């Protein structure tokens, strides 16, 4: 167990903000069956709570986003009647907000510039007895925590320790509405993570937290592959003084090879010649029963009711 720990629970029951949910696709390609599941779950959860549902295009990693993929995704969502309650936001237009958050974290002493290349990090880790990796990312050994020693800054990182001036590890606990109690030793398992990349692009962790805060998101409903990011995002929320949303991570859709469906492993773009069948399949992946419905609107209404029965109890518990 960590020497210091911060047990952060989701939004306390006392202060209920009006429900605002979101679907936040990265437009690296069209939606596939797995991303429709996440979109549908966040829409159903918002509707079951009489909340608002927003769409945010997470295009901070511009070079990975082909032209037109964002509009294609919006058309795919419209084809299955998942329509946002406000015009979508594009993260690529919101750099000023991310810059302000970074400056705030730096002024507070939590964010620091880092001069290390991947090779520098691998060498520093080797000196300490071997590389520590997490999902292909090296766990940063903290080389630049105490200054750049004359080297030029490349990226910006967040200090992952419990204190600004000590190395005590920080554990973060949280309760997912579907997965139950979760725990991560942020310092040892993740390390000081990147907020702004060496290529000048904003890191997903910072952009998502700033936007969820600025858009008043109360409930994050997204695929289980992202659950592991939650403690990083909760830490940023704490340090930026933002309220913590509730989290619900949905089951992943697996491809024929048993791996998670993703654009990276060639998941097929969702074909929407039969939108009702696509929704039925997404509903089945979410564990919804077969719902008798002849139209999209009927199916979505029945699914909202079924979702409410299934998840409302879990939320209040």
Please report how close the Cβ of residue 208 comes to ligand GLU at its closest, in angstroms. Answer: 5
Verify binding: residue 59, ligand GLU, rule CB under 6 A: no
Interacting stretch for ligand GLU, rule CB under 6 A, among 20-28, 145-153, 283-291, 306-314?
A: 20-28
Q: Which residue in the set 37, 226, 286, 288 belongs to the binding site for ligand GLU (CB under 6 A)?
A: 226
Candidate residues 20, 24, 37, 261; the one interacting with ligand GLU per rule CB under 6 A = 24
Torsion of CA 184, 186, 189, 195, to 10 degrees: 130
Residue 222 makes contact with ligand GLU by CB under 6 A: yes
Pick the closest to residue 208 from 181, 240, 174 (CA basis): 240
Measured CA to CA, the distance from residue 142 to residue 150 in angstroms comes to 16
Q: 34 vs 283, which CB is nearer to ligand GLU?
A: 34
Quote the least distance from Cβ 242 to ligand GLU, whole Å.
14
Residue 204 Cβ vs ligand GLU, minimum distance, rounded to whole Å: 7
Contact letters (x/-) for ligand GLU, 190-209, by CB under 6 A? ------------------x-
Shorter beta-carbon distance to ligand GLU: residue 25 or 169: 25
| Separation in Å, CA 70 to CA 66, 84, 92, 202, 294 | 8, 14, 12, 18, 30
* Residue number with CB closer to ligand GLU (75 or 164): 75
In 3D space, the residue among 287, 55, 317 whose CA is nearest the CA of residue 303 turns out to be 287
The C-alpha atoms of residue 77 and residue 229 are separated, in whole angstroms, by: 25
Out of 21, 25, 141, 169, name the contact with ligand GLU by CB under 6 A: 25
Tell the smallest beta-carbon distance from residue 25 to ligand GLU (Å): 5
CB of 64 to ligand GLU, least distance (A): 11
Residue 58 interacting with ligand GLU (CB under 6 A): yes
Long-range contacts of 292-297 (CB under 8 A, 24+ apart): 296/80, 296/81, 297/81
Q: How many residues bind ligand GLU (CB under 6 A)?
A: 7
Among 2, 10, 26, 304, binds ligand GLU (CB under 6 A): 26
Answer yes or no whether residue 33 interacts with ligand GLU by CB under 6 A. no
Residue numbers at the binding site for ligand GLU (CB under 6 A): 24-26, 58, 208, 222, 226
């Amino acid at each position: 167990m960590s020497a210091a720990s911060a047990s952060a629970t989701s939004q306390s029951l006392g202060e209920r903000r009006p429900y605002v949910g979101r679907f936040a696709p990265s437009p690296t390609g069209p939606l596939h069956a797995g991303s429709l599941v996440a979109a549908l779950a966040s829409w159903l959860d918002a509707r079951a709570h009489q909340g608002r549902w927003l769409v945010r295009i997470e295009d901070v990693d511009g070079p990975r986003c082909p032209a037109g993929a964002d509009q294609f995704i919006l058309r795919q969502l419209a084809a299955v009647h998942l329509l946002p309650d406000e015009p979508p936001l594009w993260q690529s237009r919101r750099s000023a907000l991310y810059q302000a958050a970074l400056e705030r974290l730096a002024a507070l002493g939590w964010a620091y510039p880092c001069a290390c290349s991947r090779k520098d990090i691998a060498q520093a880790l080797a000196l300490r007895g071997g590389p520590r990796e997490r999902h292909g990312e090296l766990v940063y050994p903290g080389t630049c925590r105490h200054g750049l020693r004359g080297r030029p800054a490349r990226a910006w990182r967040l200090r992952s320790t419990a204190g600004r001036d000590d190395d005590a590890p920080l554990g973060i606990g949280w309760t997912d509405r579907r997965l139950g109690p979760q725990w991560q030793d942020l310092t040892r398992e993740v390390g000081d993570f990147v907020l702004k990349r060496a290529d000048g692009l904003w890191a997903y962790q910072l952009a998502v937290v700033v936007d969820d805060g600025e858009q008043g998101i109360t409930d994050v409903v997204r695929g289980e592959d992202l659950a592991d990011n939650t403690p990083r995002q909760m830490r940023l929320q704490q340090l930026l003084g933002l309220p913590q949303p509730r989290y619900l991570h949905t089951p992943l859709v697996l491809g024929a090879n048993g791996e998670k469906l993703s654009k990276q492993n060639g998941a097929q773009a969702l074909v929407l010649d039969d939108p009702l069948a696509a929704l039925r399949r997404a509903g089945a992946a979410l564990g919804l029963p077969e719902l008798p419905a002849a139209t999209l609107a009927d199916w979505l209404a029945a699914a909202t009711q079924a979702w409410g029965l299934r998840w409302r109890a879990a939320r209040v518990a």
